[in-house]
Amino acid sequence: MRARTVSWRRRALGALAPLLLALPLAAGENRHWVARFALEGPLDELVLDAGPYGTTRLVLRPALLPGERREARLPLPWRAPLGGASLPADPELRIERRPADAGEARFLGWVAPQPSAALEALPPGLASRPRPPLGPGSARAPGLATSALLLLLAALLLGRGLRGRGAGSAGPARAREIRSNASAVLVGLLVGGLLFFLGRRPAPPGAAVEVVEGDLARDAWLSVRSGRERLAGPFARLELEPAGRALAFELAGEEGGEPRASAVAPGSVLSDLERLPTPADTTLDRPPCGALDEVWLRAADGRWARLGAWPADAPAPAGEERAQPQLPGWLVTGLPPGTGVLVGRLADGGEGRWMRVTGVPPRAAWGGGNRSEND
């Protein structure tokens, strides 16, 4: 009986293994699916309504003239949790055309391959690293912590004052102490409440943060751009958090070029993932993604060192060992153990562009080849 039980468990684990390995890749659901449409004028505006999934709105400038034809590739906010193979052959769309006597707009089929196809070859985990907390209540975590401490202090002082009052002590000194405690409680409540309110204030809509993700050991590079409620295109793979919200694409068509696109999802954080080509120099003789205002190195044994600024045309500075990196928490959490990591702020992006690279070799090997500490 025991042998049969063990055999059953092994078979179950064997069946689940591919699914477990695929979990990092399935961290987000793509909501950017491109389809081909045949357009015929007169036509100056087109709305494709995908029901609960969202809409796509195209404004043509200049408008199509009567009898003029054009094929357009337009994004649809479809939900296909199982990937492109599960897209319907004939999606249910309500098509609105303007003006009233507008021409035609017909669905021709899905584009193949989709813009997101290039990301399928990326190693597991690269696309599912922690992203900037742009949603409500997460943009200012230090403010939340500070306000909680102030509120706790106010509660302690209030409790101390009530205990002293209950003991029946009196006199001018005691009255002054009670007034002092009451003032401290009031200040703590006011300041704590203000910081709590500021801490819950989300990032402004449309303010994008980009992270260049790299894995030197696997020669894989990825750009992740995130924004709250609105994000400008172009898009490759667009994910929402929360995943099930309605999404609207807004496109402005220009003569002789691709339409300019933006995506809008109220109450959501939008993230676009795009595979990047390998940088020209990955030997770390120079910074792989351009100049860095601030960069930190984590060795394979977990020790951190601050390297400081790293100009584009200079070797890496010597640096100094530190106990903890002075970087946003989301940048340094969830990193794979046992491998070198470079984390820094790109010089051309202010607070909005970061770099996070794993598979970094020991300092002694920098400039001599792309060799991982695990090799």
Q: What is the model's pLDDT at position 22?
A: 37
Quick check: bond before 99 cis, omega within 30?
Answer: yes
Q: Are strands 33-40 and 105-110 parallel, antiparallel or unpaired?
A: antiparallel
Kindly report the number of other CB atoms within 10 A of residue 321's CB atom.
Answer: 10
Q: What is the model's pLDDT at position 167?
A: 45
Instruction: Express each pLDDT in 260-285 by its tens digit.
Output: 899 999 999 999 999 999 998 899 99
Inform me whether the pLDDT recorded for 124 exceeds 70. yes
Q: Is 371 exposed, middle or buried (0-12, 13-18, 19+ CB in 10 A)?
A: middle
Closest CA to 299 of 353, 369, 364, 355: 364
Longest Cα–Cα distance of the chain, Å, equals: 95
DSSP β-bridge partners for residue 346: 292
Strands (E), 159-317: 209-215, 220-232, 237-241, 247-254, 260-275, 292-298, 304-310
Q: What is the model's pLDDT at position 255?
A: 60
Q: What is the model's pLDDT at position 294?
A: 92
The angle at the Cα of 290, spanning 288 to 291, to the nearest 5 degrees, equals 120
Q: What is the model's pLDDT at position 236?
A: 97
Quick check: bond before 113 cis, omega within 30?
Answer: yes
Quick check: bond before 42 cis, omega within 30?
Answer: yes
Distance of alpha carbon 282 from its chain centroid, rounded?
25
Q: What is the model's pLDDT at position 67?
A: 94
Inform me whether the pLDDT recorded for 187 exceeds 80. no
Closest CA to 80 of 144, 34, 14, 16: 34
Q: Which residue has the higher pLDDT, 168 or 93?
A: 93
CA distances from 160 to 164, 192, 263, 325 (A): 6, 19, 53, 39
- Confidence band for 175, pLDDT divided at 50, 70 and 90: low
Instruction: Express each pLDDT in 208-229 by its tens digit.
Output: 899 999 999 999 999 999 999 9
Q: Which residue has the higher pLDDT, 158 or 86?
A: 86
Q: What percent of the chain has pLDDT over 90?
A: 56
CA distances from 46 to 37, 79, 85, 207, 254 (A): 11, 21, 27, 28, 14
Inform me whether the pLDDT recorded for 372 exceeds 60. no
Averaged pLDDT score across all residues of the chain: 79
Inform me whether the pLDDT recorded for 25 exceeds 80. no
Q: How far apart are CA 101 and CA 103, in angstroms?
A: 7
Q: How far apart are CA 142 and CA 140, in angstroms?
A: 6
Instruction: Express each pLDDT in 45-104 by its tens digit.
Output: 999 999 999 999 999 989 999 999 999 999 999 999 999 999 999 999 999 999 988 999
Q: What is the model's pLDDT at position 160?
A: 52
